[in-house]
Amino acid sequence: MRFAFSEDQVALRAGMADLLAGTCSPAAVRAAIDGEGVVPGLWSQLAELGALGILAPEESGGLGFDEVAATLLAVEAGAVALPDPFTQVACVALPVLHRFGSEHPGAEGRVAELVAGTAQVAVGLSWDSSVDQANAASWLLLEADDGLHLLPADSVEIEPVTSVDPALRPSRVRWTPEDGTRLGDPEHARAAAADAHLRSALADAAQLCGLARSMVAMTVEYTSSRTQFGRPIGSFQAVQHHLADALLAVTFAEPLVWRASVSVATDAPDRVVDVAMAKSQASDAAERVADICLQAHGAIGYTIEADLQLFMKRSWVLARRSGTARSHRRTVAEHLQVRPKRSASYEKPTQHPRRLTSSP
Amino acid sequence: MDLSWSAEEDGFRAEVRSWLEANVPKPSLPSGDTAEGFAAHLDWERSLHAERLAAVSWPEEFGGRGATLWDWLIFEEEYYRAGAPQRVTQNGIFLLAPTIFEFGTPAQQAWYLPRMSAADDLWCQGWSEPNAGSDLAGITSKAVRDGNGWRITGQKTWTTRGAFCTHLFGLFRTDPDETRHRGLSYLMVPLDAEGVTVRGFGRLDGDEGFAEVFFDEAWIPDGDSDPAQGGTLGPVGGGWGVAMATTTSERGLTLRSPGRFQATAARLVELAHSRSLDDEVLIDRVTQAWIDAEAYALHTLGDVTTIVEGGSPGARSSLNKIFWSELDIDLHRIALDILGPDAQLDPDGWMKGFEFALSGPIYAGTNEVQRTIVAERVLGLPRA
């Protein structure tokens, strides 16, 4: 039994953190929002670092690490509110294509491209309302009732939508599912969809932890220097206790995320429930942390000028994406067999009624 | 990251589980905080001790089995799962003993530890005084040097099970020229010593053991010169540092291992099943509490890993204390809400458990104090 990261994992995480600290400051995030939704030049550096191929086998040019390592990289992406679709590519599209793409001719070569950073794949699952960075993708993995489909970008209609977090560059995607676009037969394609759900929930849970930690850190820094009534506002007990509560929230979310990453990495029987717990807790934690950090900043926290808003907005989005906290808790409740008697008509939590698309 | 147990650990778990299944008294014993129940709990402690389960991680010479901290965690998980009796020796075994291991002389360890695990000596903690609760450094009970020992005068209060115990450990002011946390010493006192009077008083949850302890020039020997009559632990005048070692254990790991809350959460889920719980809001609350108990257990695996690898959670243990104490109230309150009008009749002890849980944010350092510690010592915020 050892509930701690290995030296390799710690080193990988530090490498990612160093790269992002040097390239993805809050100013860079703002520039990305005003620009193309990405930090110029960063994607190829992520490829060079090996981060894009963290989960890819070494034969495909990847690092051949597991989901524990990938989750740590996702945390670091969250910690800087990275606009680039790192987790979508490295933590979701790549492993799903690697595991489930064998029966789809379009999947061949995708993994190598993703690792090299020469192409991107966007992911649209049924429980979300938009697809991030669809414009930058050459292929899209999209979910229909019969499972996951893979389509070239020029065969779908991409309609950008506005979002509270413009860094994500979300779009609605109009497309037509066909037998030929599906990743194999429906059983195979549904398994792929379930895998994509699992991985995106885990990656978003990890990002939420990173976001939460960063919000706490920037608020500690601000309140330690801002003075009122002749002392730093961080010395007032009310502010101190608020921030203690913020740290409490993220401290008791992270272990669930670490455990979920192990469960996914080892294909553990309870991985769906474990990820559900992690995403639920991380969503609520980041939301609570955002509220507390805003309050502790006071009015300055309410401005666009302050960096806090970049992290808050990302948190609000990710908390409600890849399955809401409430829907994930319903998955856990099912597992505990604590559910309303009308379970015959009980909607399965993983099939969200919202659809990205409509067929003509 | 390795979340698997070894074959030896699984074997230990199986052994403990089957022993508990065969030996846990059914029906449950009366509360160990009543006079009648305390005696029954002592019998239970003796049967644990006979099986070397009273303090599994202690060396064998002191009544343990030399087990690892992981084994201890497994033992605790099985213990709560089995609904085994409350440990009336806990103040000694979980609070005093770590201090004796760290600061005690070989003679003190050899005398006190075996008697503690055998439940021959039963310890209560003498920290608080009527004018010094959260502000422990404000204590005024004192001990004055007298011959080969110390003469103690003063009063301790909020002493859990004080009315039933045989010994008290506590902080006393031994240097009249120093103030606050300086000039304190950590003393061990037999409660049958001349000049010691113990008086029980009532508690919200009905327990009788809560006591005030009065010292009227009670005498104890210095150091380890005569451990049977009591003594001083650690350096005279250095009591604050000695006490702080215990306080971290109390807050974090050793007082409230996660097994306790996971077992309560499991009972809550069982309650939901038995009542065919249909209300979506209550179902969500049950689920959330269960997730929180899991989170605490996983976090503890991290803390144990740190300790086993030579580190220490330090001030971060204050986060643990806030979390488990608030979780415990939540678990019980949800049960009461499921029970509705039946709650007042206290089926399965949920109401009693709720009343006790309410004390959690107060004892072992109030959650307000803990939050300030988190803010100043973990987050590094400027001091007030």
pLDDT in tens, B275-302: 999 999 999 999 999 999 999 999 999 9
Phi, psi of A183 (to 5 degrees): -75, 70
Indicate whether B205 pLDDT > 70: yes
- CA B154 – CA A97 distance, rounded (Å): 74
Task: Say whether A1 and B382 touch across the interface (CB within 8 A).
Answer: no
- CA B125 – CA B110 distance, rounded (Å): 21
Tell which of B1, B68, B267, B307 to mutate to test the A interface (max A CBs under 10 Å). Answer: B1
**With contacts defined as CB-CB under 8 Å, which chain A residues touch B301?**
1, 3, 255
Task: Say whether B381 and A234 touch across the interface (CB within 8 A).
Answer: yes
- Across chain B, mean pLDDT equals 94
pLDDT of residue A138: 96
How far A121 CA lies from chain B's nearest CA (Å)? 30
Q: Is B166 helix (H, G, I), strand (E, B) or coil?
A: coil
The model's confidence at residue B254, banded by pLDDT at 50, 70 and 90, is: low
How far B61 CA lies from chain A's nearest CA (Å)? 27
pLDDT of residue B60: 97
Pick from A172-181, B184-193, B205-214, B343-352: least confident: B205-214
How far A167 CA lies from chain B's nearest CA (Å)? 30
Catalytic, B9? Answer no
pLDDT in tens, B359-383: 999 998 999 999 999 999 999 999 9
Q: Which among A252, A277, A333 has the least Cβ separation from residue B283? A: A333
> B102, B178, B250, B326: which is the annotated catalytic residue?
B250
**With contacts defined as CB-CB under 8 Å, which chain B residues touch A216?**
379
pLDDT of residue A226: 98
Q: Provide the number of CB pairs (under 8 Å) joining chain A to chain B.
A: 150
pLDDT of residue B347: 84
Q: How far is CA B345 from CA B350, B352, B357, in A?
A: 9, 10, 17
- CA B127 – CA A271 distance, rounded (Å): 46
**With contacts defined as CB-CB under 8 Å, which chain B residues touch A236?**
384
Please report the sign of the dihedral spanned by the C-alpha atoms of residue A57, residue A58, residue A61, residue A63: positive
pLDDT of residue A349: 46
pLDDT in tens, A15-60: 999 999 999 999 999 999 999 999 999 999 999 999 999 999 999 9
pLDDT in tens, A229-256: 999 999 999 999 999 999 999 999 999 9
> Which residues does A93 contact at the CB level (< 8 Å), separation at least 6?
A110, A114, A120, A121, A122, A123, A141
- CA A198 – CA A190 distance, rounded (Å): 12
pLDDT of residue B202: 77
Indicate whether B36 pLDDT > 90: no
pLDDT of residue A245: 98
Q: Is A108 helix (H, G, I), strand (E, B) or coil?
A: coil
- Longest Cα–Cα distance in chain A: 70
Task: Say whether B298 and A332 touch across the interface (CB within 8 A).
Answer: no
Contact A7, A80 (CB under 8 A): no
The model's confidence at residue B247, banded by pLDDT at 50, 70 and 90, is: low
Indicate whether A354 pLDDT > 90: no
Give percent above pLDDT 90 in chain B.
84
pLDDT in tens, B10-30: 999 999 999 999 999 999 998
The predicted complex's ipTM stands at 0.94
pLDDT of residue A348: 46
Q: When comparing pLDDT for B227 and B384, which is higher?
A: B227
**With contacts defined as CB-CB under 8 Å, which chain B residues touch A247?**
319, 374, 378-379
- Across chain A, mean pLDDT equals 94
Indicate whether B200 pLDDT > 90: no
Contact A146, A295 (CB under 8 A): no
Q: Which among B4, B287, B316 has the least Cβ separation from residue A332? A: B287
Tell which of B282, B325, B381 to mutate to test the A interface (max A CBs under 10 Å). Answer: B381
pTM for the complete prediction?
Answer: 0.95
CA A262 to chain centre: 17
pLDDT of residue B35: 80
pLDDT in tens, A276-320: 999 999 999 999 999 999 999 999 999 999 999 999 999 999 999
**Closest chain A residue to B376, measured at CA:** A240
- CA A348 – CA A260 distance, rounded (Å): 21
pLDDT in tens, A66-120: 999 999 999 999 999 999 999 999 999 999 999 999 999 999 899 999 999 999 9
Q: What is the mean pLDDT of residues A345-356?
A: 44
Q: What is the mean pLDDT of residues B339-365?
A: 94
The enclosing H or E element of A160 equals strand A157-160
Helices A186-225 and A271-297, packing angle to 10 deg: 30
Angle, CA of B277, B283 and B287, to the nearest 5° = 130
Q: Which amino acid is at B217?
A: E
Give percent above pLDDT 90 in chain A.
93
Contact A208, A286 (CB under 8 A): yes
